[in-house]
Amino acid sequence: MPKVISYTPAWLSKPNPGHEIFTTKAVGALNVATNGSSASSKRTAKPGPRRTIARRGTEVFIAVGKEIRWADLVYLKEAWEDKQSRNTFGKGKDSDNQYEGDHAQGYRTIKTQVAEDIRQLIISPHANYIAILTTHTVHVAILPEPSQLTAADTGPMKLKYYTLGPTTHVTSQSGIASALWHPLGVNGTCLVTVTEDAVVRLWELSIADRWSFDRPTLAIDLKKLADGTSVDQDFGASVHGTSKGFSPDSFEMEVASACFAGRGSGGWSPMTLWIAMREGDIYALCPLLPEKWSPPPTLIPSLSVSIVAKVAAQEDEQGTSPQSKLLAQQQLLWMSEIDNQEPLHIEGPAGEPPAEVYTRPGKPGRVPKLQGPFELDLAPEESEDELDGLLSDICVIGPKIDTDELMFGEEDDLELDPVDQEGLSVGIVCLLTSSGRLSVCLDLDGVEAQWLPKSKAKMLRFVDDFDPPSLLTFEVMDTSRDGEVWEGNWPVFSHDVNSRYSFYITNTSSVTFISLSPWVFRLENELKEATAGADFRIGLLANGQSSIRERLLTQKSNDKSTPLAASAVIQDPDLGYFLLTATSHGPIALTFEAPDLHFDLDRRSRSPTYDPEPDKPLILFEPRPCFEPAYTLEEPSAMPAFIERQRHGKYKRLLQEEVRLSPATLTIITEAHKVVSEETHRVGTAAAELFRRCEKLQLDLKSHISKAREVANRIKAITGDDAPPGEEVVDANQKVETRIEAAKVRQQELNKRIDEMRKKASRSSSRELSDKEKAWIDEVQILNNKITSQDGEKDSKEPWARYEKVKALKEDLLKQVQDREVKDEGVATPNVKVPSEIRKAKMTQVMGLLDRETALVEAAKSRLERLSLS
């Protein structure tokens, strides 16, 4: 998330020229009169996008009324800094200074040929053309080089203009919803216009051919195409315009906005036009190409690989639907015609490589099929607020380029922009409503090229197999507060310069930053790896609050007639990370903290003598915008104009006579009271706000003084200046060294204690015992009790008791045998004959008993040894 470090800088504030170029007031060489007074109030109040700021590097073009102001922001900043330095050192004006005298001032006024206020400014991809849009007309101007704009002549400048469609885009026809420069146009010269009555026109512009500005090379009426059944039908727009009567199509297919994905997107995205209808429907046209088009190096190979793989898979797979086979054959026919062409190489603009130009295939047809309306899966429930369902803008982020699949088996590597290779392998469609509700949808199926069949019979045969396209709603969030939603609200998207997965949403009175990066890369890992438990992790990812949403600017104003213009984001070493928006009263700028760089990439490219830049000082205060009094205090009173109107009205005689009580006098006084009461109310509100700000300024000043006093006391405590008189003053360095040594000793003690606690914890902590381990412990305990018990019981059958009894019997038997031998030596052995069978049986019985007792003794001994070892 970008961190705001400062608001509108001084060189864009009053009374500098950087502020005045955004307003309708005259300043210096601008000599600008107030515009917009002759415009129709109905058209001025008509809601619509306000993209009145366009940029070319650090140059900005601002639409103010019917004029365009040009300014070089770096030049304005340096001129202001030079002026401040001269005022500081007391130097006067110097005619040789580039910022003084008759030199260029860094800003110019550009006169236009429009009849109404300018609503949108759109610069071509190579920054050599600019499209100027009003509510109904489109003009294309050729932009001069920056050196021509910064010439010594500071007067109003006239450009070379071309009226686009002088009989098509006129006030008697439908208004302009969107104007887009086609990403695959030859050197950025193809302009796509989409009118509110759902007519798409492609204009392939050429300065050498003025007729290219009069009629489009391709015109498609989406209402006709939606009901089309065969590619042979005529889907062109009517030359005389559409009927003004009411119809369901004219109501449901009123266009709100349209867009392309980026040129560096993968798949069919660069040639897919997405159209958002005002009532909430989403459509797609693919492929929408001009007659001559210039693809990037990876587009045709990637499409060829995917189409051939699809056809091969359908041949091997059983049960493929007829419509899928027809679609694959159409795509193969389309790609075959491109492969058979020999591209034409033409020179591009300065600094750009030569462009390869192809001709649009004629088969299966030049008009693609209208895909949609898309079904929004997991869409939010319908709201009672009507504005929640009215779309205002659409933004599409195409899938990344799969270089691994494209370059499989190839030895060479493609040199692509790292930004295009990172991200999600599926497209993201962002929808914005008039109430500020943002819906982030995933295009999991992917939009591919589709055409209508050649005959109606084929279409009727495949109707049953048709599945409507769908988008999966991943996340829904609100960007506007309750008090900011009104019927004239028209939020718009503004792309970021650092990531294609972040953007800004400009509302009537606020700017909000949105970043999808926290979940995009995690989702891509889950989709790519597809390991066990991926469904569970994706569910957690979808249910969590993943996207970053941060409001950066809130304009506290009840005047809804001065909405914010769509934000322009600039990143330049001289300006920093910079966001610029404006109202009719002046510019509003936000300077962000520079984003973190990829240090690993920097280290690889650094030279051995690289000298890093010094660290920037820490920002210890919270930035906040400077307070500007309400513009009501600067506006002139409307009473002089009211009196002037009365002097030329039917009551002009009463102004020269004495005041008398009459209906005419009452009428004049009543009208004058309305004017005065409205002015006094606005002035009173502005004065009250100024009074509250003054009171708050006193409180802030007291807070700053207390903080400064606290900091001063801390500094004195460090330097020793706070010591009482008579006490020995210790040097500040000595204090610091003592504190450092004490901190080191304490750190060593803490590390030692932590190591001891870790050892104790490792010895004491153990996992919970299983049931088998608990049973084994009980058995060992029982055996231990049996072995270590006291021999107090005589008839015990325990092993230890039996062992002791066997030992006693052994000793007793040995003693008896010895006594018997002694007696036998002194007494003659009686002549008693015992049968040998009895003697042998007795001996066998005795030996068996001895072996049994011996085995028992050995078993008990070995078991005791095992227990002692364990």
Q: How far apart are CA 256 and CA 280, in angstroms?
A: 9
- Mean pLDDT across the stretch 404-432? 70
Largest distance between two CA atoms of the chain: 181
Point out the least confidently predicted range of 42-51, 423-432, 583-592, 810-819. Answer: 42-51
pLDDT tens sequence across 647-693: 888 888 888 888 888 888 898 889 999 999 989 998 998 899 899 98
Q: Which residue has the tokens 């759902």?
A: 198
The pLDDT > 70 percentage for the chain reads 80
pLDDT at 405: 60
Per mean pLDDT, which of 501-505, 640-644, 733-737, 814-818 is the most reliable?
A: 501-505
Point out the least confidently predicted range of 28-32, 402-406, 696-700, 799-803. Answer: 28-32
Indicate the DSSP class of residue 561. Answer: T
pLDDT at 40: 43
778 confidence band (pLDDT: 50, 70, 90) = confident
523 lies in some domain: no
Question: Of residues 764 and 736, which shows the higher confidence score?
Answer: 736
Q: Is the pLDDT of residue 214 over 80?
A: yes
Question: Of residues 41 and 670, which shows the higher confidence score?
Answer: 670
> Whole-model pTM?
0.77
- Mean pLDDT across the stretch 157-178? 91
544 lies in some domain: no
Identify the CA nearest to 398 among candidates 274, 267, 239: 267
Q: How far apart are CA 407 and CA 298, in angstroms?
A: 10
pLDDT at 605: 40
pLDDT at 438: 95
- Mean pLDDT across the stretch 690-712? 89
pLDDT at 585: 87
Point out the least confidently predicted range of 178-182, 482-486, 674-678. Answer: 482-486
Cβ atoms within 10 Å, residue 40: 13
Per mean pLDDT, which of 530-539, 640-649, 747-756 is the most reliable?
A: 747-756
36 confidence band (pLDDT: 50, 70, 90) = very low
Question: What is the identity of the amino acid at 525?
Answer: N
- Mean pLDDT across the stretch 430-441? 94
pLDDT at 441: 94
Domain of residue 658 covers 640-671
User: Under a CB-based contact definition with an 8 Å cutoff, are residues 284 and 372 in contact?
Assistant: yes
Point out the least confidently predicted range of 34-43, 274-283, 493-502. Answer: 34-43
- Phi-psi group of 586: left, alpha or beta (phi > 0 → left; psi -120 to 50 → alpha; rest → beta): left
- Mean pLDDT across the stretch 420-449? 90
Q: Is the pLDDT of residue 238 over 70?
A: yes
Q: Is the pLDDT of residue 29 over 50?
A: no
Identify the CA nearest to 836 among candidates 844, 848, 826: 844
Q: Is the pLDDT of residue 774 over 90?
A: no
Q: Is the pLDDT of residue 248 over 50?
A: yes
Point out the least confidently predicted range of 73-77, 152-156, 288-292, 721-725. Answer: 721-725
430 confidence band (pLDDT: 50, 70, 90) = very high
Question: Of residues 617 and 663, which shows the higher confidence score?
Answer: 663
Question: How is 640-652 classified by DSSP, letter by letter?
Answer: HHHHHHHHTSTTG
Consecutive H or E run containing 610: none
> Residue 376 has which token pair?
């929004």
SS (H, E, C) 13-52: CCCCHHHHCCCCCCCCCCCCCCCCCCCCHHHHHCCCCCEC
pLDDT at 682: 87
User: Across 523-564, where does the E strand assignment appear?
Assistant: 548-554
User: Under a CB-based contact definition with an 8 Å cutoff, are residues 606 and 596 in contact?
Assistant: no
User: Under a CB-based contact definition with an 8 Å cutoff, are residues 51 and 57 in contact?
Assistant: no
pLDDT at 121: 96
pLDDT tens sequence across 505-523: 999 989 999 999 988 888 8
Q: Is the pLDDT of residue 387 over 50?
A: yes
Cis ω on the peptide bond leading into residue 364 (within 30° of 0)? yes
pLDDT at 43: 47
Long-range Cβ contact pairs of 756-760 (< 8 A, separation 24 or more): none
pLDDT tens sequence across 577-598: 989 999 988 899 999 988 765 4
Backbone angles phi, psi at 123, to 5 degrees: -90, 145
- Mean pLDDT across the stretch 83-89? 79
Task: List strands edge to edge, sheet with 391-397.
Answer: 375-377, 470-478, 437-443, 427-433, 391-397
pLDDT at 200: 96
pLDDT at 651: 82
Q: How far apart are CA 728 and CA 444, in angstroms?
A: 76
pLDDT at 68: 94
Number of structural domains (the chain) is 1
pLDDT at 601: 38
What is the torsion angle, in degrees rounded to the nearest 10, for the CA atoms of residue 533, residue 536, residue 542 and residue 548? -60
Q: Which residues pair with 16 in a beta bridge?
A: none
Residues 6+ apart with CB under 8 A from 532: none
Cβ atoms within 10 Å, residue 266: 27
The pLDDT > 90 percentage for the chain reads 35
pLDDT at 824: 64
74 confidence band (pLDDT: 50, 70, 90) = very high
Q: Which residue has the tokens 């939603």?
A: 485
pLDDT tens sequence across 97-119: 666 655 667 888 999 989 899 99
Q: Is the pLDDT of residue 794 over 50?
A: no
As a whole number, the mean pLDDT across the chain is: 82
> Residue 477 has which token pair?
């969030």
